[in-house]
């Protein structure tokens, strides 16, 4: 009839969260409320990133954070937005952020049962060039009787109840996974102001000839890493190199297209660069639940690593099952 087929039954994040809550009869609704606060922080951060050049939000804040990064104005604002959203949800007791030296304990929420970790703006060195950045998050549930302290986050990633990230790219993409569940991808519809389920049950390709790492670090790399990257370049059909420099954007592409993202520990950064709680562990959970793998530079499963401090770092290899297995095999050979 020439009439356009319009979807009048859209699957929003709100609807997804409602359905998940209904599936769990024992659920109090606290987790759902926490997720609503999370999605608001993503919308809000996306809004300021898009307007940054117009409202004097480009450039440095003039301060640095505990892991030594120069803070951008948007690092500070993203952090403030995230903290306010978590506090006002009333459901978060402890919050760890890249931009906060200490864990924040929300004294106003004494009965809240969740601990959240976040990288408010990942890839912030890319901000002023308008390149995709993101927010990474992970959620733990406090143990029975826990009063709420940083110890509630110094746990293996296997205990995460949920994790994910939002990438602020051509559109805002939210990737969310809950313990034991599938990986769900949502796209922000700016007109509706809603995240729409556009990538249900994401499963990543088992292999793909794309690698993503900062090769400017080659002179610091250890032997197995050198051998691995060289083997990709010398493969019968050599791999493609893709590196954005925002973990979220590199990881999102890797999740969709397959391949591998790596930030190995090296001679200059023997503990690696990326931080376990709010970069490595949440990404590892997403990748494993999408059928991929994630290991550290000692070839241990990333999700089993227990950090000693909230800002501890790790080397990481993250990607398609077969691609990460190649890295493991070469490291094993070197013993």
Which CB atom, from 69 or from 189, has the smaller least distance to Mn ion?
69
Q: Which of 39, 71, 89, 246 binds ligand AHG (CB under 6 A)?
A: 246
Q: Does 69 bind Mn ion (CB under 5 A)?
A: yes
Query: Quick check: 38 and 138 in contact, CB under 8 A?
Result: no
Query: Quick check: 83 and 96 in contact, CB under 8 A?
Result: no
Query: Quick check: 301 and 270 in contact, CB under 8 A?
Result: no
Cα dist. 255→113, 202, 261, 330 in Å?
31, 8, 10, 23
Least distance between ligand AHG and beta carbon 56 (Å): 20
Which CB atom, from 247 or from 324, has the smaller least distance to ligand AHG?
247
Burial 163-200 (b: 16+ CB within 10 A, else e): bbbbbbbeebbbbbbbeeeebbbbbbeeeeebbbbebe
Q: Does 288 bind Mn ion (CB under 5 A)?
A: no
Least distance between ligand AHG and beta carbon 333 (Å): 27
Residues in contact with ligand AHG, counted by CB under 6 A, come to a total of 13
Least distance between ligand AHG and beta carbon 258 (Å): 18
Least distance between ligand AHG and beta carbon 92 (Å): 20
Least distance between Mn ion and beta carbon 133 (Å): 8
Which CB atom, from 246 or from 296, has the smaller least distance to ligand AHG?
246
Q: Does 69 bind ligand AHG (CB under 6 A)?
A: yes
Place of tokens 């906060």: 100
Through-space distance between the first and last CA atoms of the chain, rounded to whole angstroms: 67
90 binds, among Mn ion, ligand AHG, none (CB under 5 to 8 A by kind): none
How many degrees, rounded to 5, is the angle at CA 319 between CA 315 and CA 323?
100
Q: Does 260 bind ligand AHG (CB under 6 A)?
A: no
Which CB atom, from 76 or from 178, has the smaller least distance to ligand AHG?
76
Which residue intervals of 246-296 are DSSP H helices?
Answer: 247-257, 281-289
Place of tokens 């994790």: 163
Q: Does 266 bind ligand AHG (CB under 6 A)?
A: no
Place of tokens 């993202």: 261
d(CA 173, CA 136): 12
Q: Which of 39, 89, 97, 124 binds ligand AHG (CB under 6 A)?
A: 124
d(CA 327, CA 316): 11
What are the residues facing 184 on neighbouring strands?
176
Q: Which of 78, 123, 148, 169 binds ligand AHG (CB under 6 A)?
A: 123
CB atoms under 10 Å from CB of 84, counted, come to 14
Q: Does 250 bind Mn ion (CB under 5 A)?
A: no
Least distance between Mn ion and beta carbon 99 (Å): 7
Which CB atom, from 103 or from 178, has the smaller least distance to ligand AHG?
103
Least distance between ligand AHG and beta carbon 126 (Å): 8
Q: Does 119 bind Mn ion (CB under 5 A)?
A: yes
Interface positions with ligand AHG (CB under 6 A)? 69, 98, 119, 122-125, 214, 245-247, 263, 273
């Amino acid at each position: 009839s020439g009439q356009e087929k319009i979807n009048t039954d859209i699957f929003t994040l709100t609807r997804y969260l409602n359905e998940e809550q209904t599936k769990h009869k024992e659920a109090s609704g606290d987790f759902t409320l926490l997720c609503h606060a999370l999605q608001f922080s993503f919308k809000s951060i996306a809004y300021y990133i898009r307007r940054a050049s117009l409202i004097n939000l480009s450039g440095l804040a003039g301060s640095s954070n505990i892991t030594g990064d120069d803070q951008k104005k948007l690092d500070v604002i993203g952090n403030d937005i995230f903290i306010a959203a978590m506090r006002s949800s009333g459901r978060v007791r402890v919050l760890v952020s890249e931009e906060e030296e200490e864990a924040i304990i929300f004294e106003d929420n004494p009965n809240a049962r969740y601990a959240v970790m976040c990288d408010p703006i990942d890839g912030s060195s890319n901000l002023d060039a308008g390149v995709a950045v993101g927010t990474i998050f992970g959620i733990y549930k406090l143990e029975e009787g826990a009063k709420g302290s940083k110890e509630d986050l110094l746990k293996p990633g296997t205990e995460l109840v949920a994790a994910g990230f939002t990438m602020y790219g051509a559109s805002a993409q939210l990737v969310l996974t809950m313990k034991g569940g599938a990986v769900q991808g949502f796209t922000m519809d700016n007109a509706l102001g809603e995240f729409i389920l556009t990538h249900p049950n994401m499963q990543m390709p088992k292999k793909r000839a794309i690698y993503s790492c900062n090769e400017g670090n080659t002179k610091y790399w250890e032997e197995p890493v050198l051998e691995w990257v060289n083997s990709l370049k010398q493969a019968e059909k050599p791999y493609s190199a893709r590196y954005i420099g925002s973990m979220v954007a590199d990881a999102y592409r890797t999740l969709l297209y397959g391949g591998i993202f790596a930030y190995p520990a090296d001679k200059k950064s023997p503990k690696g660069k990326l931080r376990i709680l709010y970069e490595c562990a949440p990404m590892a959970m997403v990748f494993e639940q999408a059928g991929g793998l994630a290991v550290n530079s000692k070839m241990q499963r990333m999700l089993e690593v227990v950090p000693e401090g909230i800002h501890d770092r790790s080397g990481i290899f993250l990607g398609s099952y077969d691609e990460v297995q190649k890295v493991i095999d070469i490291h094993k050979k070197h013993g």
